[in-house]
Amino acid sequence: MTAVESIGSRGIHEKHQVSRHRLSLQDGTLMARAKEPRCTVLLTFDYDAESCEARMFPDRPVKLSKGQFGPRVGLPRVLGLLDKYEIKSTFFVPGWTADRYPESVKEIVRRGHEVAAHGYIHENLGELRSKEDEIEIFRKSIDTLEKVAGHRPVGFRAPHWEFSQNTLANLMMFGFKYDSSLMNDEKPYVIKQDGKSAGIVELPVEWFLDDWPIFEIERRPSSEVFNIWSEEFEAVYADRIPYFLLTMHPECIGRASRAKMLEHLIVTIRRKHGVRFSRCVDHVERFIGQASHM
């Protein structure tokens, strides 16, 4: 073999090696994409207890007792169900609930679930009198959850799903990574303010995917709610929408027949290929990671 032939052969070999390397990188990217779930399911819980009733009806024992069912019966039942199927979830907790039932909030954390912020005593932010009042609610809520749960919350859900004109600015000021209060999409997105990124991911919600209005206001039976929620999931899955979120309350979904319905729904969803259950914070981190590589 001549020197020229040797160099040429080596060049061909190196070119082949580069080609194989590029192919392996491409394969790795395809494999990474293949590992992404077809749909991420977020089972979220607003652990209000009787915070809303304590603010609005402090002297009405029966109304207070409705919320008290949550820490007394509903939450243990929900936690047991999540443990049974090895699902980690996110609990949006008012600071007042953490102050009144600290051991239950610590138990949520001990089982590997996320604790996120939900106001202090379930205040409607759209009805506040001043910007300063809202800032104080954020500060008090964050401080309480950090003390009880052992970590600073990075997620927020507005009580009553109501924002004021100051809420987005407060979310940015207090360093939240995500919000879950708005209804203008069916998959996560980055909130923009004045055309610029606010640095906050929105995990959209929807009223008919919330147990409170459908059970406690419309008084629908569990079988009907199962049909509504499962039909929505089937449609989302068929359209390859990679996101399905439910909002539930331990004092509501924690009733025996409703918890059985939720279990039936979990089993039904788990039969689908490519489904992942997730905490909100984990889903947001994956979403941010994917967006940074696009």
pTM exceeds 0.95, yes or no? no
Structure confidence at residue 207 (pLDDT): 97
Question: Is residue 21 predicted with pLDDT exceeding 90?
Answer: no
Q: What angle do CA 118, 261, 114 make, to 5 degrees?
A: 30
Structure confidence at residue 65 (pLDDT): 96
Mean pLDDT (whole number) for 123-127: 96
Structure confidence at residue 88 (pLDDT): 98
Structure confidence at residue 4 (pLDDT): 37
Question: Is residue 47 predicted with pLDDT exceeding 80?
Answer: yes
Structure confidence at residue 291 (pLDDT): 73
**% of residues, the chain, pLDDT over 90:** 83
Give the residue with greater pLDDT, 137 vs 16.
Answer: 137
Question: Is residue 23 predicted with pLDDT exceeding 50?
Answer: no
Question: Is residue 9 predicted with pLDDT exceeding 80?
Answer: no
Which of the residue ranges 54-63, 131-140, 219-228, 251-260 would you say has the lowest mean pLDDT? 54-63
Structure confidence at residue 14 (pLDDT): 43
Residue 293: band (very low, low, confident or very high) from pLDDT cuts 50, 70, 90: low
Structure confidence at residue 292 (pLDDT): 66
Structure confidence at residue 250 (pLDDT): 98
Domains of the chain by residue range: 1-35, 38-292
What is the CATH number assigned to the segment(s) 38-292?
A: 3.20.20.370
Question: Is residue 78 predicted with pLDDT exceeding 60?
Answer: yes
Contact 176, 216 (CB under 8 A): no
Residue 32: band (very low, low, confident or very high) from pLDDT cuts 50, 70, 90: very low
Closest C-alpha to 90, from 41, 139, 162, 51: 41
Residue 17: band (very low, low, confident or very high) from pLDDT cuts 50, 70, 90: very low
Q: Kindly state the tokens that stand for 289.
A: 């990671």
